[in-house]
Structure 1
Amino acid sequence: MSGYEKAVESNMRNFQNELGMTAEQAYEKYGSWEIVLEKAMSANAGMDACCGLYDDFYHLYSGGGN
C-alpha cells in the first residue's frame, strides 16, 4: 500500500472524507478560525512523509546537514 493510500485510509477512518478534515470539522475541534488557519499552515512531517516528500536526498535540502 502506498503512502497516499495509507493517508486516504486514515482520512476515511478519522474524518469520513478521503481528503481529510473539513474546515467545519477543524472549527469544531479547535473552536476558532484563527487556530484553524494556524494549524492549516503549520508543518506536518508525518503527512509530508506519507506524500513522499522525504527521499534519499532529504538531508541535502532539509537544513540538517549530514
Structure 2
Amino acid sequence: LDVSQDPITSVNKSRDQFWARVIDVYNNIKEDFWESRTKKTLQHRMQMIEKVVRCDDPKGH
C-alpha cells in the first residue's frame, strides 16, 4: 500500500516497474523470519488478500 500511495513514484509506472518497487520495499522492511518472495509470489499473495477483503463472507468464500 505504501508503494501505491507514493505520488512521486507511482505516477505513470508500468506494471513491471510497480512490482519491482513492491519487491524492493518488501525486501527492505522484511524481518529475517519472513518468507522470501518473488514478483510472482507477491502478486499471488496480493490476489489472495484482495479476494478476502472484497468478499462479504467473513470466511472468505
| Larger RCO: 1 or 2 (CA < 8 Å, sep 6+) | 1
The answer, yes or no, to whether TM exceeds 0.5 is no
Q: TM-score, normalised by structure 2?
A: 0.32
Provide TM-score, normalisation by structure 1.
Answer: 0.31
More helix by share: 1
Which one has a bigger Cα radius of gyration? 1
